[in-house]
Structure 1
Amino acid sequence: MTNCWPFAKLGDHIDLLAGYAFKSRDFTEEADDIKLLRGANIGQGCLKWDRERRWPRSRAAEHCKFELAANDIVLAMDRPWIEAGLKWSVVREPDLPMLLVQRVARLRATGPLSQHYLRYMIGSPQFEAYVRPIVTGVNVPHISPTQIRDFSFGLPPRGIQDSISGLLRPMDDLIENNRRRIEILEEMARLLYREWFVHFRFPDHEDVELVDSDLGLIPNGWGQTCLGEEIDLQRLNIRPFEYPDEEFDHYSIPAFDDRRFPSVESGAEIRSGKYLLLGESVMVSKLNPRFPRVWRVDRSALVRRAVASTEFLVLVEPARWTLAYVHGLVTSTDFATRLATTAGGTSTSHQRVKPTDVMNMVVVQPPEEVMQLFTRQVEPMLRLADNLIQQIEVLRDVRDLLLPRLVTGELDVSELVLKLEALGV
């Protein structure tokens, strides 16, 4: 089916606002202050708060023009294109209140254009294909508000816009619900690790005396160990001839990604410059250790870093410790703080840790029975989180298959809805 929708210029149907140049010297990290939405907080279809900055609540009224609302579309104008895709997102109620920072655009639909349909148009391959070749700038690639407004697209009648949005929104709502459930499960696992192995409030801890050690007070009967004694640093720069009779999955790690698993590259060619994972592993980013990025891997694989990324990975595989315990350790605030103190670099956002510093780190060594009890409690949480991650991937695939065909009119949404209803979907 080919649509006969009239072409429209995006600028004629949106209210576009560029953010304000808030002074960094006045940024705060107080939880009661107002979040600032910067380009660094925008992922591919999601918002990320691992690099959060805030503005004093007492001064928020001065900048009420830049307050964001639920369902606003936000688009990074500096470095708008990353390997994972276009940096855009929808503002959701739990994200608020927020203020819009410079070099980020806020889009609101006007007139016959639906806000929900605008969301899918901005997230469509058509808009991505428009943005990629017009990005300018060498040091800081960027697009301008004028370029965003100049995008042309077929504008369907409001009823068709609503039907397309009504078909796709339940998928996005389920993706968002799953994402929040994942965050809750992982936060529960982190809190349990902190309670048991940082504050030492493990089961029956009342009966165990705290004694002095090089790490401070630790429970009597617990020890201390070097990280390199308990986990193995994976090999890198693997060459194909070293494993002539073995076949591996291939993982790619995007520069920016909200997935807890790396993405699989089907049929990827084996090249050198890879990391080799043997069995279950935890992968820790060496970049910006104050906010470490962690991936879980559940199979043997070869991994490459994203070509456009300057980020390298520390790959660890549990040798004597359990995967759940290692994951708890590397996602803990205490571990991130200690990594940051050993990292080198010109600024906190460009710090890198050395693998030797990680492997030489001295940590507490709990008794085997305490670690196993922790693992039995945490493994079901991580397993459920992993299942939800896989559900998100399936939903994304379905949505991304339908989206470009719906917004171009290639698929008749009314016929598709009838077919889905007939199938009981």
Structure 2
Amino acid sequence: MSMAWKVVEIEEVCNEIVDCLNRTAPKVDYVTPFKMIRTSNVRHGRIDLDNVFYVDEPTYKKWTRRLVPKKGDIILTREAPLGEVGLLKTNELVFLGQRTVLYRSNEMVCDGRFLYYSLISPFSQASIKAFGSGSTVEHMKVPDSKKIKLKLPPLPTQRKIAAILSAYDDLIENNLRRIKLLEEKAKLTYEEWFVRMKFPGYESTPINEETGLPEGWERIELINICSFIGRGISPKYVENDGISVINQKCIRNNRIDTELCRFTCNSKKISPDKLVKPFDILVNSTGTGTLGRVAQMISPKNKITVDSHVTIVRAKEKISNIFLGRLLELNQPLIEKMGKGSTNQIELSKIDLGNLQITLPSKHLQEKFEKDFKPNFLIIEDLLAQNQLLKEARDILLPRLMTGMIDVDALDLSAFGLEEREEMMVAAEPEARYSTKIPKMN
């Protein structure tokens, strides 16, 4: 680390450090512009503003009377879990939920993006964890949130480091936006064809008088169109070996986060049915708040299974698995209500899930939907793979940059293609493939 770097406490470089109100805001059961950031919304360096609780305007004003969050602010979780960090990238009307704290840097001494990367660096994360206390749930006290230690270089160096690391994260964000567009297109088309019944050729398709459905459609139980519905294994976990295991925490927002997978060293051979196959649909089957979540595995890269809290739903060969994935995603609210048991032991049995009544369109329409959208899901797979490479490259660079191991003072940032990258991000079409340009360090 250069002599120009110094170790400081975070309160020395912030204009604002604001803790949340120490109580839960009363939420509403309809969408409003006012979003609550809970600890569960801050994961892997990102703030998820899609899966949020909403409040009314008077509650929002009351909960933001200390400070109104804005773009560029940093959110840290003090508990459940401790040390997750996210950067606000929009000016949406958000406020702090319990066990979170907001940092707003003093840009005269500390670049806001550099502060964000500092907080996710190993040095500052170690400082955060050192403040953790509690025998059951690790948490950090509010006064300690002002004492987190950072390694701080001169401001021009901060800006260069932030620009380099942001190049990776901006590309990741762009890929995530493209993924969301592709997913929304499939969802909207599904709803148009199979919910509003405005499918191609609907005007000339006769209605069956007995069923009230278009000719060739039928109402059927889920079990009758599946080759397998079953839960996974009860694994013995190990740290870094064995087969990856998807648990209920991995399934969120109709996506599977394989970074949260653990590993199994089961002595018994895992049944082939319980190894996740391309386009299998996974359903959380236990737990309050997580039960009923649905996500589809596009194409597992390695051997992967699910634990006993997750159910695999696998379509028969004659059924479009792309169609079935969208159908179960759309029925997620209904599936959530199918669980039985006490509050802390709610379960969704494979029998009840198999008895779910669905409306099955004609084979021709299923095939057309799959033909139109399977290429898009393969693009999504490519974008997710790109993001994994970008994240791995960033994570290798981050500790070296944040400790001064790599000297950036003499770097010309135009060599990183930042202007070209911005133009590419603006011009990119949602369905277009491109090769992600990754900045290289010598």
Give secondary structure in 1 for the equivalent of 2:297: strand
Match of 2:147 in 1: 150
Alignment CA distance shift 1:318-1:140 (3 Å): same
Taking the aligned partners of 1:369 and 1:117, their CA distance within structure 2 comes to: 54
Higher alpha-carbon deviation: 409-418 or 220-229: 409-418
Q: 1:304-362 deviations in whole A, cap 9, x for unaligned?
A: 55xxxxx8211122223222112212211xx1122122113555x98542222112212
CA deviation after TM superposition for structure 1 residue 4, in Å: 5.3
1:409 aligns with 2:410: no
**Alpha-carbon spacing, 1:238–1:319, altered in 2? closer, same or farther (3 Å):** farther
* One-letter code aligned to 1:314: T
- CA distance in 2 between partners of 1:23 and 1:265 (Å): 27
Distance 2:153 2:353 in 1: 55
Helix, strand or coil at the partner of 1:99:
strand
Residue 373 of structure 1 aligns to which amino acid in structure 2?
A: K
Structure 1 residues 51, 167: CA separation in 2 closer, same or farther (over 3 Å shift)? closer
Q: C-alpha distance in 2, partners of 1:354/1:142?
A: 35
Per-residue deviation, 1:185: 1.1
| CA displacement at 1:203 relative to structure 2 | 0.8
- TM, length-normalised to structure 1: 0.82
User: What SS does structure 2 have at the residue aligned with 1:331?
Assistant: helix
- Normalized against structure 2, the TM-score is what? 0.80
Q: Which residue of 2 is the match for residue 74 of structure 1? A: 75
Conserved 8 A contact 2:250-2:258: no
> What SS class does the counterpart of residue 275 from structure 2 fall into?
strand
Measured in 2, the distance between the counterparts of 1:234 and 1:272 equals 20
Partner of 1:330: 328
Choose the corresponding residue for 1:340, options 336, 340, 348: 336
Of 357, 361, 369, the match for 1:362: 357
Q: Describe the superposition over 1:236-263 as per-residue Cα deviations: whole angstroms up to 9, x where unpaired.
A: 33899xxxxxxx9645558357694553
Q: How far apart in 2 are the matches of 1:269 and 1:33?
A: 43
Look up the SS of the partner of 2:138 in the other structure: coil
Q: Which residue of 1 aligns with 2:6?
A: 6
Stretch of structure 1 that moved more, 359-368 or 291-300: 291-300
Query: Offset of 1:126 from its aligned partner?
Result: 2.2
Counterpart of 1:47 in structure 2 is 47
Residue of structure 1 equivalent to 2:429? none
> Any conservation in 2 of the 1:74–1:88 contact (CA below 8 Å)?
yes
1:227 is aligned, of 216, 219, 222, to: 222
1:264 and 1:78 mapped to 2: Cα distance?
Answer: 20
Q: Which structure's relative contact order is higher, taking Cα pairs within 8 Å and 6+ residues apart? A: 1
- Residue equivalent to 1:391: 386
The aligned length equals 402
Q: CA RMSD in A?
A: 3.4
- What's the secondary structure of 1:118's corresponding residue? helix
Q: Partner residue of 1:19?
A: 20
Query: What residue ranges of structure 2 are gaps of 5+ in the alignment?
Result: 237-241, 418-437
Counterpart AA for 1:42? V
Partner residue in 1 for 2:285: 286
Return the letter of the residue paired with 1:302: I
Determine what percentage of the aligned residue pairs are the same residue: 21
SS in 1 for 2:220: strand
Q: What 5-or-longer segments of structure 1 have no aligned partner?
A: 241-247, 306-310
Q: How far off its partner does 1:266 sit?
A: 12
Q: Which residue of 2 aligns with 1:208?
A: 205
Alignment partner, residue 178 of structure 2: 181
Q: Could you tell me whether the CA contact under 8 Å between 1:7 and 1:153 is conserved in 2?
A: yes
Quote how far apart the aligned CAs of 1:186 are: 0.8
Amino acid at match of 1:47: I
* 8 Å Cα contact 1:278-1:301 kept in structure 2: no
Name 1:255's counterpart in structure 2. Answer: 249
Quote the residue 2:423 is aligned against.
none
Residues 105/323 of structure 1: CA separation in 2 closer, same or farther (3 Å cut): same
Instruction: Give the CA deviation at 1:158.
Output: 0.6
The verdict on how the C-alpha distance between 1:47 and 1:256 changes in structure 2, with shifts beyond 3 A counting, is farther
C-alpha distance after superposition, 1:195-245 (max 9, x if no partner): 2222222111122344577xx8432331122212222125633899xxxxx
- Paired residue for 1:91? 88
Paired position in structure 2 for 1:56: 56
Secondary structure of residue in 1 paired with 2:395: helix
What is the distance in 2 between the residues matched to 1:220 and 1:195?
Answer: 18
Shift of the 280–264 alpha-carbon distance from structure 1 to 2, 3 Å rule, reads farther
- Find the aligned partners of 2:412 and 2:35 in 1 and give their Cα distance: 39
Q: Structure 1 residues 254 and 115, CA, compared in 2 at 3 Å: closer, same or farther?
A: farther
Indicate if the aligned counterparts of 1:289 and 1:353 stay in contact, CA closer than 8 A.
no
* Residue of 168, 173, 184 corresponding to 1:171: 168
Q: Deviations over 1:141-191 (max 9, x none)?
A: 321222222222321111110110111112111111111111121111111
Write the letter of the residue equivalent to 2:325: H
